[in-house]
Amino acid sequence: MLAADNTLSAALDAHLALLVAEDAPLDWWRQMVRSGALAVIAVYAEGERVASVLWRLDVHGGERCFVICGAASDSPRFDLMGDVLPRLEAMAQRMGCKRFRFHTRRRGLVERASGMGYQAPEFVLLKDLAA
């Protein structure tokens, strides 16, 4: 089951902690949710919250676009991409979105998404410069 839930809770905090990277600390993720810059979809399986998806609306190529900015699951039995992504795509279509986008650092996720009809039209390269 999918449910909108922007409440900062222990369950959401645990999922946000899984998203922490060098360029986005936990406080940044919390602030994005608190400010409404990112919305949250809580994912439940068998009555237990097993994942959180952070998203926003954007325009991509002149079309309304549903953007997943982060997704995390702490359940090894749960397939976030296989179980939830198609449902999110359907939700985005109902919202009038013509495009659906997500960014990832995981090459395996890129390969799997390619098999689901996604394309990787660009790669983002990052270099830290000395101050």
* Domains of the chain, each with CATH number or no CATH: 2-114 (3.40.630.30)
d(CA 97, CA 65): 5
End-to-end Cα spacing for the chain: 47
Please tell me the predicted confidence (pLDDT) of residue 83: 86
- Bridge partners of 49, per DSSP, are 44
Model confidence band, residue 88 (pLDDT cutoffs 50, 70, 90): very high
Model confidence band, residue 106 (pLDDT cutoffs 50, 70, 90): confident
pTM for this prediction: 0.83
- Bridge partners of 71, per DSSP, are 53
Q: Tell me the average pLDDT of the chain.
A: 87
Across the range 88-117, mean pLDDT stands at 88
Highest mean pLDDT among 16-20, 95-99, 120-124, 125-129: 95-99
Q: Which of 110, 42, 40 is nearest to 69 (CA)?
A: 40
